[in-house]
Amino acid sequence: MSYLRVIYRAPMPLFVALAVLWLAPPARVAQAQTKPYLSSPRRALTAPELLEAPDEWIERSLKWANDVLDGYPPAPIEHPVRRAALTRLDDILHIESAPRKALVQEFYRARMEKAVREIEQTRVAEGTRIWKLYNHGFFVRTPTVSFTFDIVPGTATPGFAVDTKVLDRLADQSDATFISHLHGDHASQTVAKLFLARNKPVVAVEGLWAKDAELSSSLTYLKRSTTVVHEVSIQNGRRMLKVVAYPGHQGESVLVTVHLVKTPDGFTVVHTGDQSGDENVMNDFDWIAQIGAHHHVDVLMPNCWTTNIQRLARGVNPKLIITGHENEMGHTVDHREDYTQTYNHLFRTQYPFVVMAWGESYQYRK
């Protein structure tokens, strides 16, 4: 009797099970099995993290990755060596103790300081320059305005965060800052106070830091709506940003404002914060599906692990995607979303996308 005939005559449950294993994508197969090398089924399609590594390997790897990233800048069609460098960073940053390692801390702070130095020295004659800072933090500069999203110093791990002087310099360069939601890897009172001290708007999700009456009274809370276009005055009233504060969620309970910002020179960006409403419970995809129909979006900045990133992109219909939230070092290893997963999530998307490390920038032109 042939192997195929044995399979055919097997009881139906066994036949179905074998068919599922044969046809299912590798991720589903991996999730269906117990894999002792996996910290989480979410990481089934990425190489397992190291439990520990020698400083020599970490130091040499970080220097190599740094040189590669400097030599091969971000682009929608990227040189293959960039992905190799980002994968090596994944390997290092997924060591459980990575946030506490002096070599990693020094690498992070150097990348951030380099980015702020570039921001101070860069003026944009056309198009838009976008720097990816820490986690889901971005600095956006057009010929007329500059603004930031979800800027934080780093994790609370002692020795990791950048010095306040670096944040001071960043606040000097930005006309306004936006805060998507309350979580500490997106919202920093230190940063907010630096902007407020300069009389620059801090546009925050409704109710942020409401228990601090002095601070919350100085924040700009925009009504969450799918249709209202707000105007935010910047540069002492000389210019306006047009903003839609979409009513997003992280899960069912955390309010996340998805900010759409349009500049005086016609550049439009959407920053999602930790938008990830359960598509079976929340109706967020109802309004997400309409964004691209009502607005010409140049750049979408999603959190890389958002619910159904490809569906999100189709709703926004951007010219370019720049992802954020990779390698948040305040998270445990199983939730430090890696660059490899970002590439997996966006595989075969119809939209150009750029994956950037801490401190890198990209010049966008319409």
The confidence score (pLDDT) of residue 4 equals 34
Give the span between the Cα atoms of 24 and 102, in whole angstroms.
42
Give the span between the Cα atoms of 256 and 147, in whole angstroms.
19
11 and 88 assigned to the same domain: no
The confidence score (pLDDT) of residue 340 equals 95
pLDDT, tens only, 247-265? 999 998 899 999 999 999 9
15 and 140 assigned to the same domain: no
26 and 131 assigned to the same domain: no
98 and 24 assigned to the same domain: no
The confidence score (pLDDT) of residue 19 equals 38
**Residue 254 belongs to domain with CATH number:** 3.60.15.10
* Burial group, residue 157, by CB count within 10 angstroms (0-12, 13-18, 19+): middle
Inside any domain, residue 324: yes
Give the span between the Cα atoms of 292 and 279, in whole angstroms.
19
Inside any domain, residue 9: yes
Inside any domain, residue 47: no
75 and 214 assigned to the same domain: yes
The confidence score (pLDDT) of residue 39 equals 82
The confidence score (pLDDT) of residue 33 equals 53
11 and 85 assigned to the same domain: no
Inside any domain, residue 69: yes
The confidence score (pLDDT) of residue 184 equals 95
Inside any domain, residue 185: yes
214 and 110 assigned to the same domain: yes
pLDDT mean by block of 10 residues, the chain; 366 residues: 33 37 42 70 84 96 98 97 98 96 98 98 97 98 98 96 97 98 97 98 97 97 97 97 97 94 98 89 91 98 96 98 97 92 96 98 95
The residues, ordered by sequence, that sit 6+ positions from 138 with a Cβ below 8 Å of its Cβ are: 130, 131, 132, 148, 149, 150, 271, 301, 322, 324
7 and 131 assigned to the same domain: no
The confidence score (pLDDT) of residue 37 equals 84
The confidence score (pLDDT) of residue 252 equals 87
Inside any domain, residue 75: yes
Inside any domain, residue 46: no
Inside any domain, residue 44: no
The confidence score (pLDDT) of residue 282 equals 78
132 and 18 assigned to the same domain: no
Q: Count of domains in the chain?
A: 2
Parent domain of 165: 55-364
Interior angle at CA 134, CA 262 and CA 282, nearest 5 = 60
14 and 79 assigned to the same domain: no
22 and 146 assigned to the same domain: no
The confidence score (pLDDT) of residue 38 equals 83
12 and 117 assigned to the same domain: no
